[in-house]
Amino acid sequence: MTKLSIIYYSSTGTVDAMARRSAEAAEKQGAEVRLRQVAELAPESAIAANDGWQQHHDATRDEPKAAADDVTWADAVIFGSPTRYGNIASQLKQFLDTLGGEWSRGELADKAYSGFTSSSTAHGGQESTLLALYNSIYHFGGIIVPPGYTDQLKFNDGNPYGVSQVSGASGPGNVGDAELQALDHLVSRVLKVGDLLAGSSGGQPAVEDQGANAAGNNQAAA
């Protein structure tokens, strides 16, 4: 059974809906799934200024929060984030930045990774957000699993880098049919590659300690 973690940040609910659809698709395919939000970092005043953000924050504040173990446990990880000026949300970036110890021990390598995102407008930084996310995966030594155009349905949602939703027209928390199908397809690809990688590595880190001969991990560079 492939172990999949879906780790995400969502402010008004669109990315949350995408994450839940992905979890449902994975469970239908027999995967063991962990669905985890990252912690909210925004001040209460900023959240309160947006009704949708406040409502979603209140509704999900008690959901399980992501921890490093959710990454090391998994054979495959799918990250989700709204676009923030063409980049991932600071909440997800902060979580990634806490993984220096796991990185130094080689515990993030040789897993399948992919991502999904949402923006309020078309061409609102969706592709650059996914590419920015994948920069961290390169450092992990992870295997990025893009959907490409490996199924005809990808010509409907049109994003070969991952899955993206334009939330402005549909409203927060709503995901289009093309994007739902694209999420199902992405999950299938990630599970397939994750299963292959887990089988070939025996579930062991590829490197015992990547940081043993280094001057320190990424965090030490600060």
Encoding tokens for residue 133?
């996310």
Using one digit for the tens of pLDDT, what is the confidence trace for 156-198? Answer: 988 999 999 998 766 778 899 999 999 999 999 999 999 999 9
pLDDT band at 219 (very low <50, low <70, confident <90, very high): very low
Whole-angstrom CA distances from 78 to 48, 172, 192, 221 are 29, 21, 13, 27
CB 97 within 8 A of CB 140: no
Largest Cα–Cα distance in the chain?
51
Whole-angstrom CA distances from 134 to 65, 79, 200 are 22, 10, 23
CA distance 92 to 96: 6
Residues 30-50: what's their mean pLDDT?
A: 97
Domains of the chain: 3-221 (3.40.50.360)
